[in-house]
Amino acid sequence: MGLTKRGRWLLSLTAVLALGSVLGFMTLNVHSDWAFIVQYRGTRLLAMLLVALSMGLATVVFQTITHNRILTPSLMGFDVLYVLVHTLALLLWGTEFGKGWPLESRFILEVTVMVSIALLLFRWLFNGSVRGLHMLILLGMVGGLLFRELADLSARVFNPSEFSIQQGSSVANFNRVNLQLLWVGLAAAVFCSGLLFHLRRQLDVLSLGRDVAINLGVPYRKAVTLLMLVIGALLSISTALVGPMLFFGLLVANLAYWITGSHQHRWTLPASVLAAIVCLIGGQVLFEHLLSTRLPLAMVIELCGGVLFIALLLRGVKQ
Amino acid sequence: MIETQGVSKAYHDRLVVNDVSINISKGGLTSIIGPNGAGKSTLLSMISRLTPMTAGSVQVDGLDITRTPGPELAKRLAILRQHNESILRLTVRDLVAFGRFPHSGGRLTEADQQHIDEAIHYLGLEAYQQRYLDELSGGQRQRAYVAMVMCQDTEYVLLDEPLNNIDMHHAVGMMQLLRRAADEKGKTVVVVLHDINFASCYSDQIIAMRAGQVAYQGTPEQIIRGEVLSDIYQLPMQVHELAGQRICVYFR
C-alpha cells in the first residue's frame, strides 16, 4: 500500500521545494559576513522549521482523532488558550515565588497547564454530548474569541511591560520570533514527532473511527489522551515562538492530503511538515528577497487558509 | 463461550439493558431479536466492549473483557456495527487489510496478504478490491466491512443488524455467508436481526429481548411460535411451516 505515481511525484516536488526554500532563505542577498548570517538567519530558520513541524503534525493528528478534515486545534481556540495561560502566568512570575524560575521551566509549567485545560475541553466537547461538526466549529470560534479577549484584558490590566509573547498576540509574526525558547521547543518537538512517527500505524487505525479502532484492539481512550497531550504541546511550542495562527494548520493538513492522496500517516505526517515548510519559509523567501514586498506573510497565509476553510465548509454543506 | 453476568446499562436513570445473564456457546449462529428499544444493540456493544457497562461482567473464553488487553481480545472477537462512515478515501483492499492489525500491528506479511485475498474472495469482492469505498453501493460497502471483520480471523464474529439497508438478494447472500462461516470455518456468529424470518431460517439459537431483558432463549423451534412471538412483539402472530421452514406471518 504505497503511494500512487502521482502521490510520489507531488511529494518529491514538495520535498525539493522545501529544500530549495531552506537554501534560499540562508543564501539569498547575503551582504555581510557568513558567521553573522548563519547565526542570525539560522536561528530564525530553526524557529520557522519548528513552527512548520508543530503545526503540520498537530493538525493532521487532531483531524485523525476527531474524524474530520475541517476542524483544527487552532479553530478550536487551543493556541489562543496558550496565550491566555501565558498571560495569566505572568502574574505568578511577578511574585517573589516566581522570580527565580528560569524561562525554560516557566515555559514547561505553562505548557503543562495549557495541555491539561485543553484535554478537559477536548473530553467535554468530544464525548458525544456535542453533536454535529457545525456546532463544534461554532463552539470553537466562540471559545477562541473568549480566550483572546480574556488574554487581551489581562494584558491591559497587568503590567504591560512584561509581555514578551503578548506583543502581536492577535496575528503571528515571523520577523519577531521568540528565540529564548528555541532549544526547549526543539527538544520537545523532536520528542513529539518521534513519538507520532512511532504511532503512525495506530493513527491509521484511529482514523477509521472509534468503534472500528476498539474492535481492532487499539486502547482508544489511552491513545486519544496521549495524542491530545502531544497536540497541546506542539501547539504551545508554535504559539510561543511566533504567535497564534488560525488557518495555517488547516491549509497545510489539507495540502498534505491532496499531495499524498493517501490515508497513511507515514505519508501524510511528513507531507504536512514539508507543505508547511514551503508555505512558511518559501513564502518568506518569496516576499523578502524575490518580491521585496513589505506584505506580512502571516496575513497572506491566513487569507489562503481562510478561503480554503470556507470552501471546505460549503462543500460539507452540499454533501 | 461468551458469558454475561448481570449486565446492565443505564443512561441517566433509564435502564436500557437490565440485569442480563446469558451464555452463548461456541459454534453456530445465534440471533438476537426483539422490538425497537429492547436493548439488543446495546447488549451486543457491551459484550464487544464498545459501550462500557453500568453493572455486571462479560467473559469471552473465560477472559474478562474489561481486564483483557485490547489486542488480545481483538484476536478472539470481532464486532461490526451499523454505521461505518469514514472520512477516508480507502480502497476495499486497504479496508480489508486493516483486519490484520491485531495480528501484525500494521506491518503486513506474506501470510497476511493471503488472509486478505481469502477474505476478499469469501465475500466475492475480487472485482471491486481496487475500488474506493465511496464509489460502492450500500450493500457492497457493507460486504467490504464484513470482509474486514472476517479477515480479522476471530473465533467470535458479532454483527449489529448486518441486513440494514440492503436488498433481499444481498440480505439472503449475507445470511448464507454467515451460515457458511459458522458451518465451514467453525466460527461463532452472533447477529442482531430485525427480520424474524431470517432469524428463523438461519439460526441455531435465538435470544429474544424485550424491555432490556432476555425474554426467551432457545432453538428456532422453541422461539418461533405464535404465542411466544406474540408475547415478545405485542402483536398477534401466526407461524406456518412452509417448505420445511418456520415462517412468521403478521402483516394484516
pLDDT digits (tens, 9 = 90+) for B83-127: 776 667 889 999 999 999 999 888 889 999 999 999 999 988 999
Per-residue pLDDT tens digits for B212-236: 999 999 999 999 999 999 999 999 9
Question: Dihedrals φ, ψ of B152, to 5°?
Answer: -65, -20
Distance from B240 to chain A by nearest Cα, in Å?
Answer: 39
* pTM reported for the whole predicted model: 0.88
Q: Is the dihedral of CA A63, A68, A72, A77 positive or negative?
A: negative
Compute the nearest-CA separation of A262 from chain B (Å): 8
Residue B138 in grid coordinates: 450500500
Contact A151, A243 (CB under 8 A): no
Contact residues on chain A for B152, CB-CB shorter than 8 A: 215-216
Task: Using CA coordinates, name the residue in chain A closest to B47.
Answer: A215
**What is the predicted pLDDT for the residue at A37?**
80
**Pairwise CB contact (< 8 Å): A215 & B48:** yes
- For A257-272, what is each residue's pLDDT tens digit? 999 988 899 999 999 9
3-state SS, one letter per residue, for chain B: CEEEEEEEEEECCEEEEEEECCEECCCCEEEEECCCCCCHHHHHHHHCCCCCCCEEEEEECCEECCCCCHHHHHCCEEEECCCCCCCCCCEHHHHHHHCCHHHHCCCCCHHHHHHHHHHHHHCCCHHHCCCEHHHCCHHHHHHHHHHHHHHCCCCEEEEECCCCCCCHHHHHHHHHHHHHHHHHCCCEEEEECCCHHHHHHHCCEEEEEECCEEEEEECHHHHCCHHHHHHHHCCCCEEEEECCEEEEECCC
**Per the structure block, which three cell numbers stand in for A70?**
475541517
Instruction: Decide if pLDDT at A298 tops 90.
Output: no
The 3-state DSSP class for residue A159 equals: coil
Distance between B51 CA and the closest CA of chain A, angstroms: 9
Q: How confident is the model at residue A169 (pLDDT cuts 50, 70, 90)?
A: very low
Say how far apart CA A47 and CA A34 lie, in whole Å: 19
**Average of pLDDT values for A55-77?**
90
A217–B98 CB contact, under 8 Å? no
Pairing of strands B238-242, B245-249: antiparallel
- Does the distance separating the beta carbons of B98 and A216 come in below 8 Å? yes
Minimum mean pLDDT among A98-107, A181-190, A207-216, A300-309: which range?
A98-107
pLDDT for residue A176 is more than 70: no
Judge whether B96 and B144 are in contact, CB under 8 Å. Answer: yes
3-state secondary structure of A73: coil
A69/B84 Cβ within 8 A: no
Mean pLDDT of B53-61: 93
CB within 8 Å: A263 and B94:
yes
B50 and A67 in contact by Cβ < 8 A?
no
**Residue A223: closest C-alpha in chain B:** B70
How far is the C-alpha of A96 from the C-alpha of A90, rounded, in Å? 12
Which of A1, A68, A217 shows the shortest C-beta gap to B74?
A: A217
